Chain A
Amino acid sequence: MPNAPDMLFRTLADPTRRALFERLCRDGEQTVGALTARAGVSQPAVSKHLGVLKQAGLVRDRHEGRQTHYSAQLGALAPLIDWTSQMAGFWQSRFDRLEDLLKRMDQ
């Protein structure tokens, strides 16, 4: 399994995809048709983006008749905000400060 934060960042790096995800977060479950109407790209493009979001666990689809409804899965963002990610970020920034300090100690 690829590194979860990497996959999430890569998935959300695309602005169209991020906009689709944000709309689902904001407005709740929607059909592909409704999403396409406001996406500014074709329905096949929207479907493709939704497929990538689904692979990353960021959205879930539900089939009802001929319609597919998509909803955001906020739990998928957990790897970005969990303890280990937070602490790793904390220590990286502190190590930056440590290196700055070590440079000053030379003088």
Chain B
Amino acid sequence: MTKSATDARSVVVEREIPHPPEKIWRALTQPHLIEEWLMRNDFQPVVGHRFNLRGDWGGVLDCEVLAVEPNKTLSYTWNHTHADAAYNMESVVTFTLSPTRTGTRLRMEQVGFRPDQRQAYGGAKVGWQQTFAKLEQVLARTD
């Protein structure tokens, strides 16, 4: 436990699955199939689409699609707002599918950041969005 409390935390789960990437891709991107293995959702495979994942326990995750590369990569934010801010979770989930001789290697990486690291997460995507939003505000004011 040498990691400092502010380090990004990452979880990797990898599995060889005896099914082709195209089929796994359907399970990862079609709402009625996502619901069967993950959670109820209003997912769409469109970058920028915001959706919720709703857990059986009543929890609701706020998500936004960050990357879609059919049959290869899917990435979205996985954020959870807790009544106690100390338990807020902001993370990015990325699925990577690689074809193998017998099927697919499916890799899931979840990288989490503490709320005070907001600027750092999402491969800086959100940071950039915020930066651009601020830039737009600044530009609007300088008109």
Contacts and interface: CB of A to CB of B under 8 A. Distances in A.
A101 B24 CA distance: 10
Interface string A64-90: 000000000000001100011001100
A27 interface: no
Nearest to A95: B15
A102 interface: yes
Nearest to A86: B11
A13 interface: no
B78 to A, nearest CB: 9
Interface residues on B, range: 20 to 34
A56 B129 CA distance: 45
Interface in B5-55: 9-11, 13, 15, 17, 19, 23-24, 26-27, 33, 36-38
B17 A99 contact: yes
Given A98-B27, A101-B27, A87 B19 contact: no
A87 B33 contact: no
B37 A78 contact: no
Given A4-B1, A78-B1, A95-B106, A102 B19 contact: yes
Q: Dominant SS at the A interface? A: helix
Contacts of A88: 11, 13
A18 interface: no
Contact of B37 (A4, A92, A101): A101
Given A84-B10, A94-B37, A98-B27, A79 B15 contact: no
B9 A83 contact: yes
B11 A87 contact: yes
Contacts of A78: 1
A91 interface: yes
Given A78-B1, A91-B11, A95-B15, A101 B36 contact: yes
B24 A95 contact: no
Nearest to A88: B11
Contacts of A101: 27, 33, 36-37
B77 interface: no
A-B interface, 4 closest residue pairs, ranked by CB to CB distance from nearest: A97-B37, A91-B13, A98-B37, A87-B11
Interface of A: 4, 78-79, 83-84, 87-88, 91-92, 94-95, 97-102, 105
